[in-house]
Amino acid sequence: MSLEITVFDGANCIGGSKIYLLTDGVGVFFDFGINFKKYGLYFEEFLKPRSARGIYDYLALKVIPPLEEIYRKDLFPADLKIKFDLKLRVDAIFLSHAHLDHSGNIGLLDTCIPVCSSSMTAVIAKAIQDSGGSAGFEGDVAYVSPRGQLEKNPIAIGALKGANCQSRQFYLIDDPQNLISLNNFWQKPFSSKKLDSLPLRKAEGKIHNLKIKAFPVDHSIFGATCFALETSAGWIGYSGDFRLHGARGDLTLRCIEELQKLNLNAFIVEGTNIQGRKKSGEDEVYANCLKEAKKASGKLIIADFGPRNIERLLVFLKIAEESRRKLVITAKDAFLLYAMRLADKEIPDILTDKHLYIFDEIKVSPNLWERNFIRVEYQDKYLQASEIQKNQGDFILAFSFWDLKHLLDIMPEGGIYIYSTSEAFTEEQEVDIQRLKNWLDFFGIKTVGFEISGNEITFLPGFHASGHISGEELVEVIQEIKPKTVIPVHTEHPEVFQEKLGSDFKVILPREAIPILL
């Protein structure tokens, strides 16, 4: 039988991955993420899709593909007259990891479509949703808050009063350490709404007649997975996002060894850094940040790293131990660590780790997940701003740009701000960096990791490690795996694959929504 691979999103761009595979009467998506580039054409922080119009704005502006029978009907307003291009059979979503550019549009999908992921990805997805506040229906990844047409105005979509939340069916592609504990968390509501929950189940290595293999890989979020499906046309591999230079690079090496054995017919592979050379690894980041931390004796340290980058959090926890400080994290980070520890006992236990504490943010009314759980479970681990103010040299604050307002309660007397996250890639992000510098200048805090001269921002190497494999390494990996066909996705420069690999492999450059026949 023929095999079709259609990249509905994620061709010629980074993120928004929506890769459809149809073979042997079975249809699956690899990931279903937000395309931030497309969103950015129309939306920004204070201009967002209208929740009262359900899925209308997304389809009208074509920021999601117009595909029939895959989206939630409870999000369809009465006046939705979008012409759907195709009617697809979708038996499952294979979710490679929990970053929004891979998972962020799952909330729009029909709840009848199951999701296959690692145990870690599942608990991260639920923890993010539980603690995400008003993320709206787009954040309905682990479970759904039912909506529908309003009786008095059917072109408007609203929440259904009194309706329980409904969980999606997740199938775990790994062997969870403790499925009972995972299900206790999965089926527990952390809001005022009740949750009608479908328990987590094991994937058992198959979906319909397709054999599944899943290999954990190193990325800047735990739980990242490379998938391989056995079809009548041979094995098809999908890399998701991966790298070799992180603390868990050995996972990627083992994945490469296993993929070599499969004699892949096609390898759908990310190419974020296909033009880039090998850059800093987590070991170098640790060494550089530790060096700067030791220079800041007696002064407050603020560590800024990407959301959900728990690997970087662990780097700064190690630095806190080395420098005899306490790492103070946000309540959201504490909730995420709690959930992740259910999937991996190597994740630190906040209760027993003497270097790990939670910042007591001043709130009128904390959300239920924090008030009824985190503040109960970890009540003795909260630190108020006044305690940090008295002994500033004893702490590392895990604060991002969005947490800087809390410094007004601490009023630091100098210190350092270690910028350990990705560079600014847009004008809006550059403006945020300028604002960041204004805050730090106000408190006399020295910047580490970037410099500003006039309007020029220079990001210094060695304080952040990319979540993606370098171009040099990626070419070597593909040469080792030896797939018959290479299909590059998640890259702005797919043509580089043709230049570097075209003489040895069949390289097919995907075009959005155009099927590739194998």
CB-CB contact of 304 with 419 (8 Å): yes
Structural domains in the chain, CATH included, are: 3-34+91-134+172-276+467-517 (3.60.15.10), 282-459 (3.40.50.10710)
Instruction: Please state whether 86 falls in left (phi above 0), alpha (psi between -120 and 50) or beta.
Output: beta
CB-CB contact of 102 with 241 (8 Å): yes
**Cβ neighbour number for residue 418 with a 10 Å cutoff:** 25
Cα–Cα dist 502/289, whole Å: 40
pLDDT at 205 over 90: no
Cα–Cα dist 477/422, whole Å: 24
Name every residue whose Cβ is closer than 8 Å to that of residue 287 and which is 6 or more positions away in sequence.
none
Q: Which two tokens stand for residue 457?
A: 């921002």
Chain-centroid distance, C-alpha 220: 9
Cα within 13 Å of Cα(371), Cβ side = 9
Cα–Cα dist 447/15, whole Å: 30
What is the pLDDT, as a whole number, of residue 84?
A: 82
pLDDT at 451 over 90: no
pLDDT at 66 over 80: yes
Q: Which residues in 75-107 are b (16+ Cβ under 10 Å) and which e?
A: bbbeeeeeeeeeebebbbbbbbbbbbbbbbbbb
CB-CB contact of 398 with 305 (8 Å): yes
pLDDT at 228 over 70: yes
Name every residue whose Cβ is closer than 8 Å to that of residue 409 and which is 6 or more positions away in sequence.
362, 385, 386, 389
Average pLDDT over all residues of the chain: 93
CB-CB contact of 91 with 70 (8 Å): no
Residue 448 confidence class, pLDDT cut points 50, 70, 90: very high
Cα–Cα dist 307/266, whole Å: 33
Q: What is the mean pLDDT of residues 11-34?
A: 95
What is the pLDDT, as a whole number, of residue 497?
A: 97
Percent of the chain with pLDDT over 70: 98
Instruction: Please state whether 426 falls in left (phi above 0), alpha (psi between -120 and 50) or beta.
Output: beta
Q: What is the mean pLDDT of residues 120-131?
A: 96
Helix (H) / strand (E) element for 500: namely: helix 495-501
Instruction: Encode pLDDT of 324-383 as tens digits.
Output: 999 999 999 999 999 999 999 999 999 999 999 999 999 998 899 999 999 999 999 999
Bridge partners of 419?
A: 304
More confident residue, 45 or 148: 148
Residue 425 confidence class, pLDDT cut points 50, 70, 90: low
What is the pLDDT, as a whole number, of residue 104?
A: 94
Helix (H) / strand (E) element for 430: namely: helix 427-443
Bridge partners of 297?
A: none
Q: What is the mean pLDDT of residues 494-516?
A: 96
Q: Which of 424, 422, 181 has its CA nearest to residue 305?
A: 422
Lowest mean pLDDT among 93-102, 190-199, 257-266: 190-199
Q: What is the mean pLDDT of residues 107-132?
A: 96
Q: Which two tokens stand for residue 192?
A: 């005022």
pLDDT at 424 over 70: no
Residue 133 confidence class, pLDDT cut points 50, 70, 90: low
What is the pLDDT, as a whole number, of residue 207?
A: 84
